[in-house]
A and B are shown apart, each in its own frame.
Chain A
Amino acid sequence: MSDFNASEQELERTLAGADGPVAVFLSEAFHPAVRTMADRLQHLSHDGKAFQLIDVSLAAYRAWAASYDVYGTPAVLFFANGRMVGRVLGVVEEGVLRSSVPVV
């Protein structure tokens, strides 16, 4: 999982320029729930589900997250070709997470 520290515009550019699906993990780490989801995402990304995983802090990307109607953590936004194609809020089972990954 790569921590993203650049600007919101840079994040948008990264999402638009990505070859395959991208999962943006909003991970304000105050609660074990965030860690649970981080582990599940990591596991999924190593388990044949090909997507790029980007970890961003909600506090640092608040306005960007709000533009996708996300106001809390843990949240995973799935992007394909620069457009949001799915999202998961809160803690979900790995199966739910797996089914949310877009096929590109």
Chain B
Amino acid sequence: MAPPDSIALAAGRNRAVLRRQQGDKFQLLAAPRWLTSALGVEHDFPITVDIAKQHPLRPLFTLARDIIACGRAVQDYCIEFEMENGDIIAVLAQGRLDGDVIMTLEDVSDIVRSRRKAAAIGAFHGIIGQSLAMLEVFHKIATYAPTDAPVIITGETGTGKELVARALHERSKRNRAPFVAVNCNALTAELFESELFGHEKGSFTGAMRQHRGRFERANSGTLFLDEIGDMPPFTQAKMLRALEEGVIERVGSEKEESVDVRVLAATNVALEQAVQQRRFRADLYHRLSVLRIHIPALRDRHGDVPLLVERFLAHFARRYEKQVKRLTPEAISILEQYHWPGNVRELRNVIERLVIESTGELIGARALARWMDEREYLMPGEWNADAIYAPRAPIIAPPAQSEAATHHTEALEALPRDGNRFWGSVRSNAPSPQKYTFERFEAPPSDDVIEAEIVSSPRPEGTASPVELTRETVEDAFAKAGGNATRAAARLGVHKATLYRHMKRLGISLDEARGEAAEEKS
């Protein structure tokens, strides 16, 4: 048993001390005032409670009983006290046995309430998700928002980094001041400094008037720097000074301006790597990465896909005045199993396309077949500028007006299922509620629905049509492109994904093609 004076030492603002009397009787020797007042209990110790009887503090005593029974500490246990009016008071407890049971308690009621609300409606400041990973993101937003510390938001492209930044701003005490976003990738190095810090009239050719930079415009509010890894090196030094000292200097000005700005930054590349390669200043990295929120890729939270689909479907159906109401379970299952290199942005665009093309109330799996086929070889991380700016694969024409070009249930039902092959590169080990094979889709010859959706892109002169690609032409293209697949595809006048598909058909592996190219070079 601890000596009596240890109780006074142990009892702090967030401490509770409990002692077992006999049997089910416990004494509360100290507890935080915010807890007793919230539960309507007199703040007059000791409070003796029989654990077998109802008492507002009973959850605390049952935890104390468990700690005594097990003789070991309890970490991170969220006790919920349910009030008579149904409200919940949530307390995060760490407890240990030191003669008495000593507990550290933290009020997390706000976090639990906001999380429950988010789970109930499936959205948090416009960010849709109910998965455990996203609930953690929401929790971090709620925790980090009230502080003024910089936050680095990481995640693949299309995961919603700006939405998270906006949520942080909206929940902060700066929410009445401006939220200013800058894409560090979208401006040249010369323009960047002037855009961020402003310039004086006449400071350079074309500076016809004084210009307030984004930093000044975000004064008292939040500045969001997207793609921070692409910030020019010289600007990084000025940025560090602005963060450290809260002062900026307009281009061409000799006067310093004080600014009060919270900086949020986002990146889809590993900043640590950029620091190692000396493309990003280590001091700025350390200054910015006080807090970090990582947004999971959509393939890591595929359980959120149905919810996202439902929201996007309703949104686009309203926008385009369509009757479409839902996707069939097969279609949803396919979307759940896709690896989503473009993340939520890609899903949103897919749903927009499906809604525009649909004329019925239901969208089936068949409507997705060609779309998936186009993306067969687009793996996570390959959704980059090379892929985007490489010669285009066949593009999707505007929705055909023929009756055949619909996604009606009848059309779907008419499709023979047995032995149909959809596509092969979807998540192979993902659970599928529908027992059908995931192989290449072969449309029946009489069906012109899919063909009606495709038009060919103009092909550069002297390049092969994909159907004419042979082992020799592919190997030759790789050899001339020095083993680079994107450049080889460009030489052949096809999209990289199309090239990969034909390589698979011809039985040529990427390593083999590169090896051939290397041999030819040597």
Enumerate chain A interface residues (CB-CB to B < 8 A).
28-36, 38, 58-59, 62, 69-75, 87, 89-92, 96
Pairwise interchain contact A89-B78, C-beta atoms closer than 8 A:
no
Q: Given contacts A29-B132, A30-B115, is CB(A72)–CB(B82) below 8 Å?
A: no
A28 in complex: contacting residue of B75, B78, B93, CB < 8 Å: B78
Cβ contacts under 8 Å, A28 to chain B: 78, 80, 112
B80 in complex: contacting residue of A34, A36, A71, A90, CB < 8 Å: A71
Q: Given contacts A62-B82, A71-B59, A72-B59, is CB(A29)–CB(B77) below 8 Å?
A: no
Residue of B nearest to A38 (CB): B132
Q: Given contacts A30-B115, A38-B132, A69-B62, is CB(A74)–CB(B82) below 8 Å?
A: no
Q: Which chain B residues (54-87) contact chain A, with CB distance < 8 Å?
A: 58-59, 62-63, 65-66, 72, 74-82
Shortest beta-carbon distance, A24 to chain B, in Å? 16
Pairwise interchain contact A91-B75, C-beta atoms closer than 8 A:
yes
Q: Given contacts A31-B92, A31-B139, is CB(A72)–CB(B132) below 8 Å?
A: no
Pairwise interchain contact A71-B81, C-beta atoms closer than 8 A:
yes
What is the CA–CA distance of A74 and B136 in the complex, to the nearest angstrom? Answer: 15
Q: List 8 A-B contacts (CB under 8 A).
A: A30-B112, A30-B139, A36-B76, A72-B79, A72-B80, A74-B77, A74-B78, A91-B77
Cβ contacts under 8 Å, A35 to chain B: 132, 136
Please encode chain B, from 103 to 130, with 1 for each CB lying within 8 Å of some chain A CB and 0 for all others. Answer: 0000010011001100000000000000
Q: Is B135 an interface residue (CB 8 A)?
A: yes
What is the CA–CA distance of A55 and B62 in the complex, to the nearest angstrom? Answer: 22
Cβ contacts under 8 Å, B108 to chain A: 30-31
Enumerate chain B interface residues (CB-CB to A < 8 A).
58-59, 62-63, 65-66, 72, 74-82, 90, 92-93, 95, 108, 111-112, 115-116, 132, 135-136, 139
Query: Which of B76, B81, B82 is the most central at the interface, judged by chain A CB atoms within 10 Å of its CB?
Result: B76
Pairwise interchain contact A33-B76, C-beta atoms closer than 8 A:
yes
Cβ contacts under 8 Å, A90 to chain B: 74-77, 93, 95
Pairwise interchain contact A30-B111, C-beta atoms closer than 8 A:
yes
Cβ contacts under 8 Å, B111 to chain A: 30
Cβ contacts under 8 Å, B63 to chain A: 71-72, 89
What is the CA–CA distance of A87 and B66 in the complex, to the nearest angstrom? Answer: 9
Shortest beta-carbon distance, B302 to chain A, in Å? 15
Residue of A nearest to B140 (CB): A32
The 6 lowest CB-CB distance pairs between A and B, nearest first, are A90-B77, A33-B76, A71-B59, A90-B74, A72-B79, A30-B115
Shortest beta-carbon distance, B75 to chain A, in Å? 5
Pairwise interchain contact B78-A30, C-beta atoms closer than 8 A:
yes
Residue of A nearest to B59 (CB): A71
Shortest beta-carbon distance, A36 to chain B, in Å? 8
Known A28-B80, A71-B81; further 13 A-B contacts with Cβ < 8 A:
A28-B112, A30-B90, A31-B78, A33-B75, A34-B132, A58-B80, A59-B116, A73-B77, A73-B78, A89-B74, A90-B75, A91-B75, A92-B72
Cβ contacts under 8 Å, B75 to chain A: 33, 90-92
Shortest beta-carbon distance, B79 to chain A, in Å? 4
Cβ contacts under 8 Å, B79 to chain A: 71-72
Residue of B nearest to A28 (CB): B78
Pairwise interchain contact B135-A29, C-beta atoms closer than 8 A:
yes
What is the CA–CA distance of A70 and B82 in the complex, to the nearest angstrom? Answer: 12
Cβ contacts under 8 Å, B115 to chain A: 29-30
What is the CA–CA distance of A31 and B108 in the complex, to the nearest angstrom? Answer: 10
Pairwise interchain contact A89-B59, C-beta atoms closer than 8 A:
no
Residue of A nearest to B51 (CB): A69
B77 in complex: contacting residue of A59, A89, A96, CB < 8 Å: A89
What is the CA–CA distance of A75 and B111 in the complex, to the nearest angstrom? Answer: 19
Cβ contacts under 8 Å, B78 to chain A: 28, 30-31, 33, 72-74
Residue of A nearest to B79 (CB): A72
Cβ contacts under 8 Å, B93 to chain A: 72, 90
Cβ contacts under 8 Å, B95 to chain A: 90
Pairwise interchain contact A91-B76, C-beta atoms closer than 8 A:
yes
Residue of A nearest to B82 (CB): A62
What is the CA–CA distance of A74 and B135 in the complex, to the nearest angstrom? Answer: 15
